[in-house]
Chains A and B, each alone.
Chain A
């Protein structure tokens, strides 16, 4: 898992930071979009990507899909370490040299 690549886009950073600060949260894409100030379409795509990378997990109901922080201690430790060295959201990809 290349955390540098996964977490560097600003949007991904914001979502991960939200779960890092609220590890007990289980919430829908709509609510996460509200908490992070990101539009819903981008939020949904990013959440799915983070589930694929095992940084987030999913809990399904018939009409509800809740996203939650991973419980894998190895992933948690790596993300924790990355965030402790990267306090501020990164610049957008377009501005990166």
Chain B
């Protein structure tokens, strides 16, 4: 028979150390051989007699009628009742154990050899109630702990996941991370994230993580086809014993789906799992939208840069950089094992660093004779002009500006505009310096003929440590030795550096 809260409480009371202590204290007053019986209400029944614990639906048939009557009277009146000593029996008392209006049960104190004063009985009753209150508080705290703790742990998990997935704005890193986290939270084997291509009405896989198959894949689906396709089309979650698929919804539009399959414990997915995945997907959508916005902003920045580069390359300006220059610059970057972010910044610097020449007088750029002191003064200021033209683009440009400003510095400190020396010159600027000079050497100028590949390489090496960073020069030499004349290819399709 299922215990009520009341019965549970009463049982804890008579098992509590305070109750045992109470019996010890009161034994001298009650007589050492007294018997006590605990009885619970609803319906009235005996649950313990001294140290024997038992539970019955009614008072056992063997119980004396007088004790039955005592218990019934105590129950009826809710006051301490007594049975006077009679032949063959000692004194017995019935004590209700109550807190306010709530009666939890009764103690029958039986076989007392002498009459117990009323104040002792009341004291016993009061101590019992006090112990009951202690037990009740302990029980409530335990219930609170058992209820709140798992929810708090779950909340902490949600918070930690939120921090982890919002820490990257690169969609190609974010989506596999979300997939792996979803497997962890749902204790499942496979997770697939697909995003909607609205124009083509397709659902494309962006992350597939399968603990049993590192090379797991998923084909694209038409909207409406397959489980994820149906979820994407309807916006409704689907739950099956082995599959759970929820839509990724942003501003009432379905942007994708996340499908989890095969729990590690092989049990069926439950409504609780659905709730967890839905909460998780809401966090994921925020992170995905942030990443997509970031990508759009990056594209906007790049398009602005390309537009500017096009202007530079136009006939009116002719300040664009050749494919050879970009080829060399990026190849040196690859050789120096720059990260993808650094390569992107190097690329922007490479295509834009000549923007400052817009401000230079043509007569200086085209001068066939030696430049005057005044001409040099104007030239030394042009990197700063270039930086001011680029600065308003914002975003990643703040990392590109140093490349533009310092690409005419010399390793020995004799460059311009600031006379920086050695590694205080940004690495991108040191790379551009080598590529710029190499390209210039291979080009015809108004004041000299163009050099051969071998001559240009030799000249660069000669200026290592003076004009150029020795580490960059070494990387440059390795690139040229590896690719030889292929380095001179200007066709974009034959670029020797992989597009980062």
Contact = CB atoms under 8 A, between A and B. Distances in A.
Given A71-B264, A73-B264, A24 B164 contact: no
Contacts of B167: 61-64
Interface in B119-154: 150, 153-154
A22 B152 CA distance: 11
A28 B157 CA distance: 9
A66 B164 CA distance: 8
Nearest to A18: B153
A26 B161 contact: yes
B185 interface: yes
B165 A25 contact: no
B211 A60 contact: no
A35 B153 CA distance: 8
Contacts of B166: 61
A25 B183 contact: no
A23 interface: yes
A25 B184 CA distance: 8
B156 A25 contact: yes
Interface residues of B, number: 25
Contact of A64 (B153, B160, B184): B160
The secondary-structure label for the interface of chain B is helix
A25 B153 contact: yes
Interface string B203-217: 000000001000000
A24 B167 CA distance: 21
Contacts of B160: 26-28, 31, 64, 66
Nearest to B189: A71
B185 A26 contact: yes
Contact of B184 (A28, A57, A60, A62): A57
Contacts of B184: 24, 26, 57, 59, 68-69, 71
Nearest to B273: A24
A6 interface: no
A47 B276 CA distance: 25
Interface string B170-191: 0000000100110111110100
Contacts of B481: none
20 contacts: A23-B187, A24-B157, A24-B184, A24-B185, A24-B276, A25-B157, A28-B160, A35-B153, A57-B184, A59-B164, A59-B180, A59-B184, A61-B165, A64-B163, A64-B167, A66-B161, A66-B163, A68-B184, A71-B187, A73-B264
Interface of B: 150, 153-154, 156-157, 160-161, 163-168, 177, 180-181, 183-187, 189, 211, 264, 276
Nearest 9 interchain pairs by C-beta: A61-B167, A61-B164, A62-B167, A64-B163, A66-B160, A68-B184, A31-B156, A26-B157, A25-B157
